[in-house]
Amino acid sequence: MKTINYRRFGILFIGGVLAVILLLTLRQGNPQGEGYGQVLINERAEKDKFMRDNSQSPFKMNGVAYSGLTYYEPDINYRVMAQLEPIQEKKVRVLPTSNGKENRYLEYAWAEFMLKEKKLKLLILESMEMGPQRGMLFCAFADSTSGRETYGAGRYLEVKKIKGATTLELDFNKAYNPYCAYVDTYSCPFPPRENILPVEIKAGEKVYK
């Protein structure tokens, strides 16, 4: 009777599993390699086209010459998963804006995460203003690059409200400037003091020149 070499069989089996995983990774695009970076580059190209050509861009609407946006290189280390901690006793927060007005928000949750070996958190707010933005989440932040390499009044992150979610992805590679970074006629809320991070976030959009 033929003897089965279980050790050889095990090695072949593991090798087959790894090959399948590698194939699936290549098909889906490696988020830590070219696939992830290329998606960001494509999104930035689309935004550049909008800013340059679309009649709704802040440049076209205000007759301002457009010289192009600048960004940090894509860096997977600035895409983090945060633990979402809902705020039970919500308070109204009033944020000053770039044109001297005020915007009202309701405290929504804390997003806690690790970055550069530091435990950080951002306050997520919910808009109370009347209009299409009412009920939408808002996250503005500043960091140690603000006023030097990035816009001095802070940048924004897109965050979506997902019922029952306990985690939230924060991709600082997608951090963007408010419109008042380009044209001073816009009203842009400043970050709450809790969202001034004591680290350099070298990711996302840089200051507009």
pLDDT tens, 150-183?
999 999 999 988 888 899 999 999 999 999 999 9
Q: Which of 148, 175, 197 is nearest to 78 (CA)?
A: 175
> What is the structure's pLDDT at 91?
96
- With tokens 């930035």, the residue in question is 44
> What is the structure's pLDDT at 52?
97
> What is the structure's pLDDT at 177?
98
Say whether pTM exceeds 0.75. Answer: yes
pLDDT above 70: percentage of residues in the chain: 84
Average pLDDT over residues 184-208: 96
The rounded mean pLDDT for the chain is 86
Whether the CB-CB separation of 159 and 124 falls below 8 Å is answered with: yes
> What is the structure's pLDDT at 29?
38
- With tokens 């070996």, the residue in question is 117
**Least confident window among 4-8, 134-138, 144-148:** 4-8
Q: Which of 149, 137, 173 is nearest to 31 (CA)?
A: 173
pLDDT for 2 beyond 90: no
Cβ neighbours of residue 19 closer than 8 Å, sequence gap 6 or more: none
> What is the structure's pLDDT at 164?
85
Query: What is the Rg, in whole angstroms, of the alpha carbon atoms belonging to the chain?
Result: 22
pLDDT in tens, 114-125: 998 999 999 999
